[in-house]
Amino acid sequence: SLRQGGRLEEAQVVMARAAEISHRHPFSVSGLAVIHARRGRPICAGVYQELLERAISTYVPLTQLVLTAEASGLRDEASELAR
């Protein structure tokens, strides 16, 4: 993948487009959050909150919640979810 190959700027562009066309599917949203974090630019906790709110009415994989919380700098929340 672009992210694993260290092509983070390109990966961010691709993942942002994936999030857009997928109507912000949890996999693309969490992937985008991880890419931002790896680039040293963690995104706001609002993205994590977005997935939490979505999880009320639809299935959001726990893994995506943990990854997004961690990437948003919410380590305590990520640890709590991972337990």
How do residues 39-71 score in pLDDT, each as one tens digit? 888 777 888 999 999 999 999 999 999 999 999
Q: Look at residue 41 in the predicted model and tell me its pLDDT.
A: 83
* pLDDT tens digit sequence for 2-47: 877 888 999 999 999 999 999 999 999 999 999 989 888 877 788 8
Helices (H), the chain: 8-21, 26-38, 45-57, 62-71, 75-82
- pLDDT at position 7 is 87
Contact between 28 and 61 under an 8 Å Cβ cutoff? The reply is: no
pTM, rounded to two decimals: 0.86
